[in-house]
Structure 1
Amino acid sequence: MNTSDPTVQPVPASVVEQVDAADVTLSNPKRAVISLGSNLGNRLETLQGAIDALEDTPGVRIKAVSPVYETQPWGVEPGSQPSYFNAVVLLKTTLPPSSLLERGHAIEEAFERVRDEQWGPRTIDVDIVAYQDVLSDDPTLTLPHPRAHERAFVLVPWLDVDPEAEVPGRGPVAELVGAVGQEGVVARTDLELRLPE
């Protein structure tokens, strides 16, 4: 990890120890889907920074990054916040869901995300949408994400990188996109996120 980069927080020692032996080979990795969103500051740069920070995590390897989409904020009055840039990342990981969540929160904190209000504006949002085929109603981390199946800003970029994807317990992403529609989810073909090398 590049410790000179102030936007990347160190992974807690407990997590490093947990996956240290598996970091090179990623023995028996699990598939995870991460949704990213930003509507404050340099949105594209922040999304790329979050992707790079995920890749810098021991036990995580990013396999695909979706195109960038611009969307209106969810759950607030139109025009009350800047629009979002959204993307979805597919990764393989040896981290358990709880440690992946911990890393996501550390990345949010590194980019100074503020949690003053529900549906409030944010520099970065890092959500675990799905982890393998796990179904869990744990209030700390519900899997799959409890609203992913109704959010076009998650489903549309996810479909781009995995046309055969399914939301566990909810069905194929392609069918869910058909049900919720794509209104307000605008492809930003002028922008691009890099897959870490």
Structure 2
Amino acid sequence: MAERTESAAVIAWIGIGSNLAEPRLQVARARLALAELPDSRLDWVSDDYWSEPVGGVVQDPFVNAVARLETRLPAEQLLPALHLIEAKAGRRRAQEQVWGPRILDLDLLLYGELQSQEPRLRLPHPEIARRAFVLRPLADYDPELLIPGLGKVSALLPAVAMQRLWRISGEAGASARIGQAC
């Protein structure tokens, strides 16, 4: 019988967003669901931020956050796990308007140093360098964080400085370290 080898844990960064059905509650529930992922440990989440929607669809502002997940799940398994969390929250991807309102949006932003242009797995996330609501929370954790193929977060921030973003204070938005065995 062949001996099973454990895969090494990888740091994955997850974008969290909502602008429907009590968005702060949706983001808080997403944090809890991320902490329950198998073979993973959610160890940090950013403050919540209000951001204006992108893409030209008239809609309410979004609540956004970013989470740092240490995981042994391969990226090809983590992404569907994120989609399942969205579906359990009530998201129906097939029925949505592109760039439209979302009950919950979980984006796999980074997965270690993996770079992929596969249609179902694009890493780093293709919009990462154009979104203040992603870069600002990443900078809260580490402004020197390297985005593979793009550079440090601190170097990318000036390009999104004009995007309006408001940090939300309060218990649901407090940056926190969370622990669960990986």
TM-score for both structures, normalised by structure 2: 0.88
User: Matched residue of 1:142: which SS?
Assistant: strand
**What residue number does 1:132 align with?**
112
> Quick one: which amino acid aligns to residue 145 of structure 2?
A
C-alpha distance in structure 2 between counterparts of 1:49 and 1:196, whole Å: 14
Pick aligned residue for 2:61 from 73, 83, 86: 83
C-alpha distance in structure 2 between counterparts of 1:55 and 1:195, whole Å: 11
C-alpha distance in structure 1 between counterparts of 2:163 and 2:42, whole Å: 28
C-alpha distance in structure 2 between counterparts of 1:69 and 1:130, whole Å: 19
> Quick one: which amino acid aligns to residue 88 of structure 2?
A
C-alpha distance in structure 1 between counterparts of 2:50 and 2:44, whole Å: 19
Give runs of aligned pairs for residues 59-78 of structure 1, distance below 5 A.
59-77=39-57
Give runs of aligned pairs for residues 38-117 of structure 1, distance below 5 A.
38-77=18-57, 80-115=58-93, 116-117=96-97
Q: Cα RMSD (Å) of the superposition?
A: 1.7
**What residue number does 1:162 align with?**
142
The 1:166/1:152 distance shift into structure 2, 3 A limit, reads same
C-alpha distance in structure 1 between counterparts of 2:68 and 2:114, whole Å: 15
User: Matched residue of 1:103: which SS?
Assistant: helix
Pick aligned residue for 2:16 from 36, 40, 44: 36
> Quick one: which amino acid aligns to residue 192 of structure 1?
G
* Percent pairwise identity: 37
| Cα contact 2:44–2:178 (8 A) shared by 1 | no
Shift of residue 182, structure 1, vs aligned partner: 4.9
> Quick one: which amino acid aligns to residue 46 of structure 1?
Q
> Quick one: which amino acid aligns to residue 16 of structure 2?
L
Pick aligned residue for 1:144 from 124, 133, 156: 124
**1:53-112 residue CA offsets vs partner (Å, 9 max, x unmatched):** 1111111101111011100111024xx211100000011000000110011000000011
Is the strand fraction higher in 1 or 2? 2
- How many residue pairs match? The answer is 171
> Quick one: which amino acid aligns to residue 151 of structure 2?
G
Greater RCO, CA 8 A, separation 6+: 2
**1:25-78 residue CA offsets vs partner (Å, 9 max, x unmatched):** xx620011000000001111111111111111111101111011100111024x
| Cα contact 1:52–1:196 (8 A) shared by 2 | no
**What residue number does 1:17 align with?**
none
C-alpha distance in structure 2 between counterparts of 1:111 and 1:94, whole Å: 24
